[in-house]
Amino acid sequence: MDDDYVHKLHDHISLLSSEINSIKNKQNDFQSSMTQMMSKDKKDFIENPIDATEKFKIMKQKYSRVISELEAETVSLQAEIEALKSRKKYLETTNKLEGQDIIQKTLNLEKQLKEVQDRFESAKQRETIITDDVLKHQQNHSQVLDQFYKLLKKRTEKGFFDKKDEEDYQLNYEIEQNDYDEKVKVYEKLKDDIKKIDANQELDIRYHELKEKNQQLRIDLAALEKDRDILNYQIKELNLRVKLGDEEKEIEHAEMRRLKEELTKYQDILEDIKIRNIKRIEYKVQNSDSEVLRQQKNDYMKLERRAKELKDEYKNREKEFERQNVEKIQKELALQKLMFENQQAQQELERNFAKINQIKDDYDSRMTSNTEYEEQISRNEKEKQHYQIELRKLEEEHAYLKAKADFLQQNVNLEEELRKVKIDDLRNTIGNNLQFNESIAYLQNNWEEMRKFAKFR
C-alpha cells in the first residue's frame, strides 16, 4: 500500500513538472508572438503606442510566481515522500519489535499455563492418593474398632471388664471420632477447591481465546490506521488538484480577457492606421507622381495583407477561445467528479474513524477483561499454594493416623494374646480374689447397662 502511495506521488510530481513546462512554453510562445508583432508594426505603433512590454513583464511575473509555487510544491512532495519512506521503515521496525515482544509474552504465558496445569495435575494426583489412604485407614480403623468391640464383648461376657477400661475406650472413641470428622471436612473442602481450580482452568482457556482475539483486533486496527493515512493523503491530493484547477481556470480566464482586450486594441489601431493611410495615400496621389503612387499602393497592399493576417489571427484566437471553453467545461466536470470522489472519501474516512473508535472501545474492554483474568490467575496461584500447605498438613495427619493404627493393632495383638490364656486357669488363679468377686457383682448389677453398651456398637 505504501509503494502505491509513493508511486502516486511520483505521478503527481511528473504531472506538475509537465504543467510547469507547458506554462513555460506558453510564456515563450507569447513572448515570440509579441516580439514578431512589434517588429512588423513598429512604424505604425509610433503614433499610438501600447505599453505591451510592461504587461508582458506583469504576465511573466505571474507565470514565474506560479512556476515557483509549483516548484515549491514539488519540493514539498519530495520531502513528504522521504518522510513516508522513513515512516514506512519505522513502522516495519516497530511492527517487528512488537511482534517479537508479543511472541515472547505468548511463550511466557504458555509456560506459566503449563506450569499451572502441571501443578494442578500433581495436586489432583496427591488428592487421589490421600483419598485412597484416608479410605484405607478408615477401613482399617473400622476393622480395628470391630475387633476391639468383639474383644470387649467377649471380655464383658467372661467378666473381664473394668471401669477404667470403659473410660479409656470412651475417650479414645471420642478422639477417633473427632479426628475422623475433621478429616472428612478437610476432604470435602479439598474437593470443593479442586472444582474451583477446574473452573479457573476454563477461565484460563477463555482468557487465551480473548487474548488471541485482542491480538487480531490490534492487527485490524493498525491496517485501518494505515488506510486512514492513505485516505488523508488522497483527500489532501484531491484538495490540491481542486485548488490548482481553480487557479488554472482563473489564469486562463485572465489570459483570454487580456488577449481579447489586446485584439480589440489592435483592431482599433488597425482601423485608425487604415484611415490615416487612406488619407495619406489620397493626399500623396494628389501631390506626387506615378512612381510614388505605385510605392504607396504597394505599402497599402502590405497593410491590407497585414489586416487580413490580423483577421485570421483573430479568428484563430476565437477558435482557441472556444476550444479553451470546451476544455474549461471538461475541467469543471472533472473537478465536480473529484469533489464527488472527495466527498465519498470523506464519508469513507468517517466510517473508518467510527470503526477505529469501535475497535478501540473493544480493545479497552478486552484489556480490562484481561486484567481481571490476570488478577484471578494470581488469586488462583495463592489458593494453590494454600492447598499445598493443606496437603502437607494432611500428609502429617496421615502419618499420625498410621502411627495410631499401629498402636491400636498392637493393642489388638495384646488382646489376642490375653484371649489365648485359658479361662479356667485364670479363674482358678483369681477365684478367691475379692476384687474378682466385686467385679462379678458389679457385672451382675450392671448387666443391662453393659448389654446396651455392647449393643451400641
| Share above pLDDT 90 across residues of the chain, in percent, rounded to a whole number | 0
Q: Would you state the pLDDT for residue 160? A: 45
Tens digits of per-residue pLDDT, 62-115? 666 766 776 676 677 667 667 666 666 666 666 666 666 666 766 776 776 677
Total-model pTM = 0.24
> Mean per-residue pLDDT for 339-368?
72
Q: Would you state the pLDDT for residue 63? A: 63
For 289, left (φ over 0), alpha (ψ -120 to 50), or beta? beta
Residue 152 CA: distances (Å) to CA of 157, 158, 166: 8, 10, 9
Tens digits of per-residue pLDDT, 4-54? 655 666 676 667 667 666 666 766 666 665 555 544 444 443 333 445 556
CB within 8 A of 398, min separation 6: which ones?
Answer: 130, 133, 134, 137
Q: Buried b vs exposed e over 397-410: b needs ≥16 C-beta within 10 Å?
A: bbeebeebbeebee
Question: In the numeric block, which cell numbers belong to residue 84?
Answer: 513516508
> Mean per-residue pLDDT for 383-388?
72
Burial (Cβ within 10 Å: 0-12, 13-18, ≥19) of residue 89: exposed
More confident residue, 70 or 158: 70
pLDDT at 294 over 50: yes
Tens digits of per-residue pLDDT, 415-442? 566 555 544 454 555 454 555 555 555 5
Q: Would you state the pLDDT for residue 409? A: 66
Window from 321-335, 386-400, 402-416 with minimum mean pLDDT? 402-416
More confident residue, 155 or 181: 181
CA dihedral (245, 247, 249, 255) positive or negative? negative
Alpha-carbon gap, residue 185 to 180, rounded angstroms: 9
Tens digits of per-residue pLDDT, 230-249? 766 766 766 676 667 667 66
CATH of domain 180-396: 1.10.287
> Mean per-residue pLDDT for 376-402?
72
The domain limits of the chain are: 1-31+49-95, 180-396
pLDDT at 285 over 60: no
From the list 18, 41, 436, 10, the residue with the least C-alpha distance to 262 is 41
